Amino acid sequence: MKTHPFLKTHNKNLAWVLAAVNEMIEESIYYCDTFSHTLQAHHNEAAAAIFSALSPYFKSEQAIVLTKLPEQDLPNIPPWEIPHQDYEHPANSLMQAHYLMTEHEAWSIVNDIIQIHHCFYRDLLANTSQQEVIDLITSLQTHCLQCEKICATKKLPAKTDEDNNPLDDLDAPVAQS
Amino acid sequence: MSVEKIPVKKARPNDYTSEHHPVWCPGCGHFFILRALTKALAWLNLDKENIGLVSGIGCSSRLPAYLDVYGFHGVHGRALALASGLKLARPDLTVIAAGGDGDGYSIGGNHFIHACRRNMDITYIVMDNEVYGMTKGQPSPTSDPDWHSKLAPKGTGLARFNPMGIALASGASFIARGFSGDPNGLTKILTEAIEHKGFSLVEIKSPCVTFRPEQKDWHHAMRLMNVTLTANPMEAAQAIYGSDGFDTGIFFQADMPVYEAEAANEKPHSDSASMESIEKALLV
């Protein structure tokens, strides 16, 4: 597999972990808040509510990291750095959003963001022997699992094609061949 | 505390976002470009009051409203004309122009060519979704000839405009392609473009999820940051024309004469710049 040109490969100490995790969660919060607002602007209140409901959970996840920050002198992480080979940016799942998205789709997207967090934490745990990193990541994973449970509980069944009324969107784009 | 010990405040991306939240269609690629731009500005630690962001008309041209820097939402296709004037009057500013493919390559096509030719120190961000989205989906200069819509049922039949090839031929000194679905790579490209001394074209593929929903598949088609940087125009031309449009990275970067140097003979300043001095400076 070709190595990403901006892949971080060494010096993944606690300070770096805190900074990298904080960056990732900050992105998730930013996009949850932003998409909640734009969905509201496009009169999709139901999907907007899901993004705004998840934002506080990400903020409490970030709080776990922030409590550790005063003790650390954080490195300046270049915004293009890739923390691990399989890393996906939280924004990637949001490219599947659209203004007519159902609640099911909204829950799927927020669940994808949580999975991106999980994936990063799994990689960190697999590649560290530092106890303080392990402790931090374990508590973050526990928090993520709680978010996952919320998603699993609230995720509604997907709409079937028959349920979709074409009159819902009076100006739907033409399907392309 | 001595001056040496005062810590330099490192800017954060949110420092550059305005109180207005974007209202692009959910899933639009422009969201990710906006964020990448704020991250690039934060990384460069630029003072907000020293940035001028100019746009034309279109979905993407709403950008200045969403950034907490000096902004000007201009006339259709005239972003580069405005940005050139701003850079001449205030060479000390970091000047960024932004817009879409219709705004920049069709209505503003002539300005685009001559902005490249002057090679002024401006960063031009084009959010290319191959459609006029704000006016409900007409084909743009970068649409495929057979792309059809309600408004062009049989497509245009016209060959695509090649902005990067035109930019290279016209004299731009920095030419790159980014993808909105690659926030990290895009931030790197934008950072390099803003730092580059000369005209920087950053052509960004940015899906329009409403009028070009099939563009969601771009995510699988893109080959991210796989271009070899060159300062040789011949090699760059080969890379640009040899690419199917899905490669990202910096295709061309060269140290070339910047128009500002000649214009700077007048040393115009916001306090002293008169129309006469600007017109004189613009005479090639």
Q: What is the pLDDT of residue A31?
A: 96
Give CA–CA dist B183/A112, Å, rounded. 17
Report the sign of the C-alpha dihedral through residues B201, B260, B55, B105, in that order: negative
Whether residue A58 contacts residue A50, with contact meaning beta carbons closer than 8 Å, is answered with no
For the ranges A139-143, B16-20, B23-27, B257-261, the lowest mean pLDDT is seen at B257-261
pLDDT, mean of residues A53-62: 94
Instruction: Evaluate the CA torsion angle B71, B75, B78, B82 in order and state its sign.
Output: negative
Instruction: Give the model's pLDDT for residue A153.
Output: 81
pLDDT of residue A159: 57
Q: Residue B42 has what pLDDT?
A: 97
**Residue A176 has what pLDDT?**
59
* Helix or strand run (H / E) with residue B126: strand B122-128
A103-150 confidence digits (pLDDT tens): 999 999 999 999 999 999 999 999 999 999 999 999 999 999 988 888
CATH of domain B28-282: 3.40.50.970
Say whether B136 sits in a helix, a strand or coil. coil
pLDDT over 60 (residue B72) = yes
State the CB neighbour count (10 A cutoff) for residue A68: 17
pLDDT at A74: 84
Selecting from B29, B35, B211 the residue whose C-beta is nearest the C-beta of A30 gives B35
pLDDT band of residue B1 (cuts 50, 70, 90) is: very low
8-state DSSP, B277: H
**Res B118 pLDDT > 70:** yes
CA distance A156 to chain B (A): 20
Q: Cα–Cα distance between B130 and B213 in angstroms, integer?
A: 12
Residue B39, chain A, CB below 8 Å: the answer is yes
pLDDT at B24 over 90: yes
Predicted confidence band of residue B221 (pLDDT cuts 50, 70, 90): very high
d(CA A168, CA A163): 11
**Residues A62-113 pLDDT 10s:** 999 999 887 777 888 999 999 998 899 999 999 999 999 999 999 999 999 9
Whether the pLDDT of residue B284 is over 60: the answer is: no
For residue range A9-31, what is the model confidence (pLDDT) as tens digits?
887 889 999 999 999 999 999 99
Task: Residue A171: list chain B partners with CB under 8 A.
Answer: 136
% of chain B beyond a pLDDT of 90: 86
Distance, CA of B206 to CA of A131 (rounded, Å)? 42
pLDDT higher than 90, residue A49:
yes
* pLDDT attached to residue B2: 45
Instruction: Tell me the chain B residues in contact with residue A102 when contact means C-beta distances shorter than 8 Å.
Output: none
Pairwise CB contact (< 8 Å): B26 & A37: no
Element at B253 (helix H, strand E): strand B249-253
Instruction: Say yes or no: B111 contacts chain A, CB-CB below 8 A.
Output: no
Task: State the pLDDT at residue A149.
Answer: 87
DSSP state of B144: -
Taking CA–CA distances from B23, the nearest residue in chain A reads A38
Does residue B112 have a pLDDT over 80?
Answer: yes
Contact between residue A35 and residue A113 where contact means Cβ atoms under 8 Å apart? no
Eight-state DSSP code of residue A76: -
Q: What is the DSSP string of B2-67?
A: -GGGSPPPPP-GGGGB-SSPP-SPTT-THHHHHHHHHHHHHHHT--GGGEEEEE-SSSGGGHHHHB
- Residues of A within 8 A of B212 (CB-CB) are 173, 176
CA separation for the pair B167, B45 (Å, rounded) = 29
- Report yes or no: B104 and B126 within 8 Å, Cβ to Cβ: yes
Residue A166 has pLDDT above 50, yes or no: no
Angle at B154 between CA B153 and CA B156, to 5 degrees: 110
| B23 at interface of A, judged by CB pairs closer than 8 A | yes
- Residues 6 or more apart in contact with residue B142 via CB below 8 angstroms: B101, B105, B128, B130, B160, B161, B163
Q: pLDDT of B130-187, one tens digit each?
A: 999 999 899 999 999 999 988 889 999 999 999 999 999 999 999 999 999 999 999 9
- Most distant pair of Cα atoms in chain B: their distance: 71
Domain segments of chain B: what residues? 28-282
Tens of pLDDT along B237-272?
Answer: 999 999 999 999 999 999 999 997 555 555 555 555
Distance from C-alpha of A33 to C-alpha of B107, rounded to nearest angstrom: 35
Q: Is the pLDDT of residue A163 over 70?
A: no
Residues A173, B213: contact at Cβ < 8 Å? yes
* Percent of chain B with pLDDT strictly greater than 70: 90
Question: Which pLDDT value is given to residue A152?
Answer: 82
**A80 vs B contacts (CB less than 8 Å):** 184-185, 187-188, 191
Please report the pLDDT score of residue A168 as a whole number.
55
Provide the token pair at A115.
């999975």
Q: What is the pTM of this model?
A: 0.90
Q: Phi and psi (nearest 5°) for B153?
A: -55, -30
Domains and CATH numbers, chain A: 14-74+97-159 (1.20.1260.10)
Distance CA B79, CA B169 (A): 21
Report DSSP state, residue B230. Answer: B
* Residue indicated by tokens 């973050």: A140
Inter-residue contact B209 to A94 (CB < 8 Å) = no
pLDDT tens digit sequence for B87-110:
999 999 999 999 999 999 999 999
Lowest mean pLDDT among B31-35, B86-90, B248-252, B276-280: B276-280
Q: What is the 3-state secondary structure (H, E, C) of A78-129?
A: CCCCECCCCCCCCHHHHCCCCCCCCHHHHHHHHHHHHHHHHHHHHHHHHCCC
Q: What is the pLDDT of residue B6?
A: 55
